[in-house]
Structure 1
Amino acid sequence: MSTPQDINVRQKPAVAATGGGTSTILATKQLTKNFGGLTAVDGVDFSVAEGEIRCLIGPNGAGKSTLLELITGQLAPSDGAIYFDGEDLTGLDTHKRIDTGISVKFQSPHVYENLTVEENLRVPLQRTDRDVDRVLAETLDRTALSEKAETGASELSHGEKQRLEIGMAVTLDPKLMLLDEPVAGMSVDETDDVADLIRSLHDDGMTFVVVEHDMEFVRRISERVTVLNQGEIFRQGPIEEIEADEDVRRIYLGENA
């Protein structure tokens, strides 16, 4: 059994990397995930500043979604560590990571089709002590779903379901929101709605890590971009620098340098 001294020693790197004395809220150290002989994430040192919108891009199979699943606890790392807001998340269960202030929305909508929009939003609120009526009203307004509050989730469009699931995550008032291809399969108007929603939440101080292929969407929301390739960080920087990088265009945008 771990002693308090052991726990303090184990948490020191987390505090140093993401504690109150730093601007960093999320960091991974030499994070690695092997699937048999395949290394999907290979010694990744990745950090995100509090209040930032960071986009993760890269070709298919680069390790983007695997990295998100490691951060959320859906997958256990083969090696390395995950630190968030001064805590070591590496061995924590997924639900305990949510309690630290992380929410996630995966690529395919995971809403309760047999419930109404409002009932869906009430589900995550069961684990909080927040003012339910106030949070519901605010979230319905933010996600532009007020007029659909009593509509069954099964009757929503694809874009509305995506906004609903983001709303479900928002009800928990997270410090960090992880989004995996939030505008996949959306129309231009639906994509614009999600971009506006993310920017609005960001203006209120929420931090985002967004995996996305739609470069126009990335341009609209991102302050800084990380490019993954073959499980490693290939480049990082402002979107203008990333798009101007010939090597990035070659591996990701399919252009000849």
Structure 2
Amino acid sequence: FTFERGKFYAVTGPNGCGKTTLSKLIMGINRPASGLILFEGEDITGLSLTERARKGIAFSFQHPARFKGMTFRDLLSISAGISDEDKLVGILARVGICSMDFLDKPVDNKLSGGEIKKIELATTIARNPRFAIYDEPDTGIDLWTIGPMVDLIAKECRDHDTTTVVISHNEKFLEAADEVVLIRDGVIARTGDMKSIMPFLKSMDFCSWGDICKGEADVRCHR
């Protein structure tokens, strides 16, 4: 499969089908058992996570880390490689944070789910990556935050020509994407826009619990 430069992709499918595994293979967190991973024509299969990051690949985790004793200013300065306050504030503005006081907030467990997600998004876009992966960015946030988050990621994709891959079950991300990639049982089952994919999604006969047992375990089904 080829991800085209500057396009917005939504990768979806049942739990356990391989969505996050795919994203971690691209980032270098996991290594493939076979095959090659090419980035802008270069074979990066053997490169480490750090080496891939230096080439412009960024990864936003589903469950962002919290750092006791570190402020957002510290974290963002490391991510962006800059210390200029005006530039840091500019990155804050891109993720919808207007208060400069936020720069000196500790990145700890006192932050709300929405705040920690904005921090994760900010550290991802701070480097203006060429290829950005977002692993279920809507996890743990309220319904009112999802729409602006979708708009933000789509805008970053357009404004910076960033190839963008979002792992999500959320329909808003599927609607915003240029192309939806449907994965099932570790393989790409279908690709297309939301309109062409949705009938197939609705007709799929799968049990979200069966994705774990595959119907083979000797267990009583709740259905």
1:56 equivalent among 3, 6, 11 = 11
Aligned equivalent of 1:136: 88
CA contact (8 A) 2:10 2:173 kept: no
Give 2:10's aligned amino acid: C
Q: CA deviation at 1:207?
A: 1.6
CA contact (8 A) 1:107 1:180 kept: yes
Q: CA deviation at 1:69?
A: 0.8
Matches within 5 A, 1:10-89: 46-89=1-44
Partner SS, residue 208 of structure 1: strand
- Mean Cα deviation higher: 107-116 or 234-243: 107-116
Distance in 1 between the 2:137 and 2:77 partners? 21
Give 2:181's aligned amino acid: T
Matches within 5 A, 1:173-192: 173-192=128-147
Q: CA deviation at 1:85?
A: 1.3
Q: CA deviation at 1:246?
A: 6.0
1:171 equivalent among 119, 126, 143 = 126
Aligned equivalent of 1:242: 197
Matches within 5 A, 1:96-107: 96-107=51-62
TM-align CA RMSD:
2.1
Q: CA deviation at 1:248?
A: 5.3
Give 1:153's aligned amino acid: V
Gaps of 5+ in 1: 1-45
Distance in 2 between the 1:62 and 1:218 partners? 17
Q: How many residues align?
A: 205
Distance in 2 between the 1:201 and 1:113 partners? 29
More strand by share: 1
Give 2:92's aligned amino acid: L
Aligned equivalent of 2:164: 208
- Mean Cα deviation higher: 89-98 or 205-214: 205-214
Gaps of 5+ in 2: 210-223
Identity %: 29
* Structure-1-length-normalised TM-score: 0.74
Q: CA deviation at 1:132?
A: 4.0
1:145 aligned onto 2:97:
yes
* Structure-2-length-normalised TM-score: 0.84
- Tell which has more relative contact order, 1 or 2 (C-alpha 8 A, sep 6+): 2
1:198 equivalent among 145, 153, 162 = 153
Aligned equivalent of 1:29: none
Distance in 2 between the 1:196 and 1:100 partners? 26
Evaluate the alpha carbon distance shift between residue 122 and residue 131 of structure 1 in structure 2; reply closer, same or farther with a 3 A threshold: closer
Give 2:103's aligned amino acid: A
